[in-house]
Amino acid sequence: GDSVTQMEGPVTLSEEAFLTINCTYTATGYPSLFWYVQYPGEGLQLLLKATKADDKGSNKGFEATYRKETTSFHLEKGSVQVSDSAVYFCALSEGGSYIPTFGRGTSLIVHP
């Protein structure tokens, strides 16, 4: 079956540092890929998505590129802020399936 593997956290960074959170997946077909963010005490919200190979999703300074050859969708941001402290979830969904597959989540802590 489908699966999503994320790097374990917490990831701890200083403000203005570069962020990478790794995500790899296994899927039988050609899934859509997502990053969701969960701020403390809130539900998940969609951060960005990519629907086909080589697509780049971007939002709020975050970027991720759909790499079919390495089955990866790593999340990056050039300069993190304290307000980016949250849990980040990588996910996929395949056409025809109503059920998405989520990674375990990676906690990001940004210090001033």
Partner 1 sequence: NAGVTQTPKFQVLKTGQSMTLQCAQDMNHNSMYWYRQDPGMGLRLIYYSASEGTTDKGEVPNGYNVSRLNKREFSLRLESAAPSQTSVYFCASSESSVTYEQYFGPGTRLTVT
Binding site for partner 1 (CB under 8 A): 32, 34, 36, 42-46, 49, 51, 89, 91, 93, 95, 97-100, 102-105
55 CB-near residues (< 8 Å, 6+ apart): 65, 66
CA angle 97, 99, 102 (to 5 degrees): 125
Q: Which CB sits closer to partner 1, 28 or 99? A: 99
Tokens for 65?
Answer: 């590129």
Distance (Å, whole) CA 88 – CA 67: 19
Closest CB 71 distance from partner 1, rounded Å: 18
Closest CB 31 distance from partner 1, rounded Å: 9
Q: Is 38 in contact with 46 (CB distance < 8 Å)?
A: no
Closest CB 5 distance from partner 1, rounded Å: 11
Q: Which CB sits closer to partner 1, 13 or 44? A: 44
